[in-house]
Amino acid sequence: MEMLKKENLLMNQPKADREDVIRRCGRMLVDSGYAAEHYIEGMIKRDNSFTTCIGNHIALPHGEEAYKVDIISTGIVALAFPEGIDWQGTVVYLVIGIAAKGDEHLDIMGNVVDKLETGDDVKKLVREGTVDDMYVMLCGEPS
C-alpha cells in the first residue's frame, strides 16, 4: 500500500479546532486503511500529553506508543491551513497525520525538515502551493 496518496493531501482548509483536526487526520488514516478506529484516540491522547507541534508552524499528530498495535500499514495525511490554527498556543499552518510501523516514516519526515526549514517556507507552501507541490515536498519526487 502507498504510504502517501494525493487524495490525502488537503489544501486550503478552513480554520478548525485542534482536536477536530487531529480527529480528521485520524479518520483519514482509518478510511485509507492505514490504521484501525482505535488509533484516533491514541492520537488525541498523545497530543494532550505532549504537543505534536514541532515548530516552524508544523504539527505531526500521531498515536501514543501503546496504540501502535492499531497501525495496519504506514500512512501519512496532510492538511494545509492558510489562515493558521491554534495548536495549544502556537499557530500551525501544516498538519501531517502519521500512522507509522517501525521507522518507515522517517524518510518523509526528513524531507519535511529539509524542505521546510523556516516558518516562511511552510507559509509559502500552504498559501501558494498545490497538491503536487505538497506531494513532492513529502515524498521528494513527483507521482
Determine the CATH number of domain 4-139.
3.40.930.10
Give the per-residue pLDDT at 50.
93
Give the per-residue pLDDT at 143.
56
pLDDT tens-digit map of 69-92: 999 999 999 999 999 999 999 999
- Decide if 62 is catalytic: yes
Nearest to 58 by CA among 25, 29, 91, 26: 91
Per annotation, catalytic residue among 38, 57, 62, 105: 62
Q: Where are the domains of the chain?
A: 4-139
Nearest to 10 by CA among 143, 100, 134, 121: 134
Torsion from C-alpha of 90, 36, 77, 5, nearest 10 degrees? 180
Helix 131-139 with 119-128: angle, nearest 10 deg: 140
What residues of the chain score a pLDDT lower than 50?
none
Q: For residue 4, what are the β-bridge partners?
A: 76
pLDDT tens-digit map of 6-16: 999 999 999 99
